[in-house]
Structure formats: structure tokens, C-alpha cells
Chains A and B, each alone.
Chain A
Amino acid sequence: MSDEVTTQLAGYITTKILKQPKRVLKDDEPLISSGLIDSFHLVDLALFVEDTFGVHLDDSELNRETFDSLAQLAGIIRQRRG
């Protein structure tokens, strides 16, 4: 399910992290286990999520067990925004 949250996340990841603005990210595409987002960019993603959605991701949550796709990350954001 695509919505505003996933669209914003996808836009940030493709332009700022992957530097391929034309790249299409599927909602269920693996991000961390595939190495698409490497460990050096996990902090950037956490900062973006906090600045954009006001949701804090703890550094111990920056791994594929917590989220590995746009859909999973968007789910965490929606849940914490209440």
C-alpha cells in the first residue's frame, strides 16, 4: 500500500542515499539485507525519519530485523505517530 509516508521515504532514499532519482523502489523490496542501504546511511535515514515524521528510531533498531522494506518502515512510523 503506497501512501504519503512511503512516497516521502522512497523519494529520500532514491535521491539522497542511492543518488538515482529515477530508481523505482517497490514497497516490499529488501533495503538492508540487499545492501541497497548500507550501514553508513542508516543514521541518515533515522535522522530523516525523525525530522520529517517526528518519529524516533533508536540506533539499536537500525537493522533488518526491525525493518527491511519501505512498507515495514512506514508501518513503524504510522504506529508511533499514533
Chain B
Amino acid sequence: MTSPEASLTLIAPELLVVATALVVLMADLWLAPGRRDVLIGAALVGLFSAGAAVALVPPGVAFAGLYVRDGLTRAAQGLALAVTALGVLIAPEYLRRAHLERGEYYMLVLTAGVGAMLMAASRDLLMLFLALETLSIPLYVLAATGRGSVRAQEAGMKYFLLGAFASAFFLYGVALLYGATGTTRLPDIGRALIQTPVSTGTAAGVGLLTIGLAFKAALVPFHTWAPDVYDGAPMPTAAFLSVIAKVGAFAALLRVFPLTLSALAVQWSLMLGVLAALTMIIGNLAALAQSSYKRLLAYSSIAHTGYAMVGVATGTPEAVSAVMSYLVVYAAMTLGAFAVAVALERSGEEADRIEDYAGLAVRAPLLAAASAAFMVSLAGLPPTGGFMVKLAIFTAAIASGGPLGLALAIIGVATSVVSVYYYLRVPYLMYAGEPSAAVRLHASPLLNLAVLVAAVVVLHTGILPAAVTAFAQQVGVLVGRP
């Protein structure tokens, strides 16, 4: 068992982010209005030092087995920190415009980031529950940050109520599993379930646990909150929550299923496979009918959850690595697509109609080119990262050998074709349409930086994918090791 000092060293990245969040919260009280840029700088410095800590801190188990730092922790935390940094970068321009500039915003973003980081590191179901709540509660508040807007209030309330239900499901699942196995430590549960035949209690426990996580990740049929919440939440919040919640949820799904319960893969792969199939089909079909950019991205994010879920359901080492690569590219292309939307404004409102993007290529050629790259990547076409990670997922699914993998891959490519139709509408309008006078462009250096980073990740992964696959490999090697 590790000493308390060693435990504290292991959680150094989380401590750094928490400290940054507190500094940001306190500093905001003393800062003169208009000096809030300092907060952004502080948040970024904190996130960077936490990133360095993730790279440096050696692996290990801490807090009597509640916490583990391994390849999954490292990869998911690195990604969560990058997502949080981008979430900070895209916000200030919008908050200034909407008169929502407050230090709390950044504090909440940082706290949600810590929640996602802890979800990746949880080795115990109760710890996982606490991490899940640390992620969720700031997101409920963030969704409702648009205080003047009824839609934002509705979004926050809806997200909170349904999220609370999902948490209850999760907790009930934990209770049932505890009843069946006498422990909440994941490795012990894994061992106990191999030794005893699967009972109704354990099956129900795993099922309820899955529902809780599926809600966070917005898997069909637990997705209905997502479009409404995205629609009502302020644009930068929608961007952040659509990515960070999935990073956390998928880290947990990987931890629970392929990493802990790999011996029982036969029992859960069909259940997760059906969820993946439904999510791919419904997410893509529903996206076809959208005329709002935010709702389009909402259904798109649901659909992409389905593709990533194919990898979880497959559960082989290469599939697990593929899920990690998928999350990296998903984060870049989704945040990038939202960041472009943050830069636009229609008569004082968010530019959330797809027509608002018409003629962007004339007014901002580079922004339009980046946006086209995000859309092509979301549609899974070469030469972008979106293609490479889908290829990795489908290859892993087919290589797993069963009819389930093949079926999921075929559903995956078929729904990708459907998705081309709605994604490419956006670049088509940007290049073919006439710009509307009501739509104004607000590009700030920070926002441009965020778009640039996202575009570089998307194109780099598409053209030279080796770096991202190497990054993701550290997760796959954990499969089958208790």
C-alpha cells in the first residue's frame, strides 16, 4: 500500500488544476472588470503545468486502491486537459459579447475538467461516482450560465433533472453490484464475477451502471437531452460539454468494460454493440433533418458516440486504442466546429442557423477552410483525422472476428455515407452562398488559436496518423491486465 505522500504525488495533476480553479475564483473577486484576461492566462498556465505533471508522474495505485494512474489515466487526462484548455480559449470572446464575463465560468470549466480526469483514474465504483458528479455539476451550472436567456435556463434545468436521474441509476447499479460481490473495487468485482455465475443482480447492476454512463455519453436511447441542452446552452459551453463529458464517460466505459470485465466480454459486447448500432443510426438520421447548426452538431456528437462505442463493444486491445484515438480526433473536430460558430453572430444572437454560414469563404477564407476541414473530418472522409480513426475502429471491429464486429462496421460505413449529406452542406454554403449582412464576424486571437490547434490536430492525424496512434497505444496494452 502506498504512503499518503506517494498518493499525493500521484494526483499532482488533479491538485494543480484544483489549485488553479481556486486561484481563478478568488482572484476574480479582486480584479478590476476588464482585467479578466489575467484569469485566462492563469488558467492556461495551470493547465499546462498539470499537463507536464501528467507526463512526468510515474504510474501507480493510490488511496488504498481507489485511484490508479496507468496508460488510460495518462492518455485520458492529457486529452481532458487539452479539451479544458480549448474550452477556456474559445470562451472569452463570446462571454464579452454576451456580458457574461465572470471568473466563475473558468472555475467551473476547470472543475469539470478535474471531474473528467478523476473518472479516468477511478479504480473503484464509488470513486467513479464522485468523479462523475464532479464532472456533471459544473456542467449543469455552465449550461445555465446565460442568465438572461430562458432557453439557457431551460437547458440547465433539463440537463440537471435528467442528469440526476442518470446518477441515481448509476448509484443503484453500484449498490446491486456491491450486494452481489461485496466490494466496489473494480478489479475485485472483475475477479468475483469470473468466479461466480452471472446472477440477475449482477446483470442488473452492470446494466444500470451502463445506463448512467450512457446518459453522460449521450448514447441512444439515453440521448434525448443532448439536442435541447446544446441548443439552449451558450455556444462555448455547448462546445465544452459535448466533448469533456464524453472524454470522462468513455474513459469510464473503457475502464469498466474492456479493462476490468474483459473475461466476460461475451456477456456485454452484444449489449454495447446494440447501443452503438442504435446510436449510429438514430444520431445520423436525426441530424439529416436539422436546420440549426447547434442541433446539427448535437446529433453529430451523438452519432460519433456511436462510432466510438463500436470500439468499446469490440473490446480488443487494438479496438480500445482506436477508441482513444477517436476521442482525440472527435475532440479536435467538434471543438473546432463549435469554435467557428462562436466567431459568428447574427443580430446580437448566436448564429445557429446553417444558412448563417453562407459566404463565409469570401469574408474569412482561412476560417472557412478550417471549418471545411472539420466538416470533412466529421464526415469521415480522407485526408482528415476523421477518416483515419474510423478506419482504426472498423478494422478493429472486423478483426475481432465475430459477426457482431462485421455488422457494426457495415452499419458504421453506411451511416457515414448518410452523414456526408448533412456535413458537407455547411462547406457548400460557405463556398456557394452569399454572405448575409446580419451576420457579423468576431474573431479574436485566442479563438483563432483554438481553431488553428484543432485544425492542425485534424489534418495531422489524417496525413501523419502515427503520432496519435502511438499516443493511444498506451491504453490498448492494458486490456486483459487486472
Chains A and B come from one and the same complex: no
